[in-house]
Amino acid sequence: MHRTLWLIRHAEAANPVFGQSDDQRPLTPSGAADVINLVRHLAKESATPAQWLWLSPALRTRQTAQPIAQLWDCESMEDSALYLADPFALLHCLQTTSADYQHLALVGHNPGISQLAHYLAVPSDQDAVEVDIPPLGTVQLTFHGSWQDLRLGACGVKSYITPSRLAADR
């Protein structure tokens, strides 16, 4: 079965303030504006919508994911194991997704999101994505098989979107 996977790094977050836990950092005004621009782009391009969206419980990932999930009218699930997770924890989460979902998204943190994108991409597509995906960098991957089949070099890179690329396209 043909599947689509969106890997999305949360948008730009505010610097921590004294007494604030890292997971409570909100998006900056610029980061929130970037999310709106990404949602507009996804709507305009009629991008394949995810049916299910995994996300870290951090405020910045929730603020990034909510408008995207609303656009795609998809179910979402927060998982505490995704907070600042390494690529193998992210992969494990994705592999547990129900086979009922053909299109999936994950909103998380670096360096795990960048590492996972490069881990999953076929070698010929790895140069299409920056080594360090910037805030709100969005990678659309495709592959054939079940979610349990996700592995090293299994996915083609269908698109790579960043806030700076969206700004250049205006």
- pLDDT digit string (tens) for the chain, length 170 residues: 899 999 999 999 999 999 999 999 999 999 999 999 999 999 999 878 999 999 999 999 999 999 999 999 999 999 999 999 999 999 999 999 999 999 999 999 999 999 999 999 999 999 999 999 999 999 999 999 999 999 999 999 999 999 999 888 76
Identify the CA nearest to 109 among candidates 142, 159, 48, 60: 60
* Per-residue model confidence (pLDDT) at position 132: 97
The H or E element containing residue 43 is helix 29-45
Convert 51-102 into a string of H (helix), E (strand) and C (coil).
Answer: CEEEECCCHHHHHHHHHHHHHHCCEEEECHHHCCCCHHHHHHHHHCCCCCCC
* Per-residue model confidence (pLDDT) at position 168: 80
* Per-residue model confidence (pLDDT) at position 58: 98
* Per-residue model confidence (pLDDT) at position 169: 75
* Per-residue model confidence (pLDDT) at position 106: 98
* Per-residue model confidence (pLDDT) at position 170: 67
pTM: 0.96
Question: What are the structural domains of the chain?
Answer: 2-11+23-168 (3.40.50.1240)
* Per-residue model confidence (pLDDT) at position 105: 98
* Per-residue model confidence (pLDDT) at position 38: 97
Enumerate residues 6+ apart whose C-beta is below 8 A from 31: 10, 11, 12, 13, 60, 63, 64, 135, 136
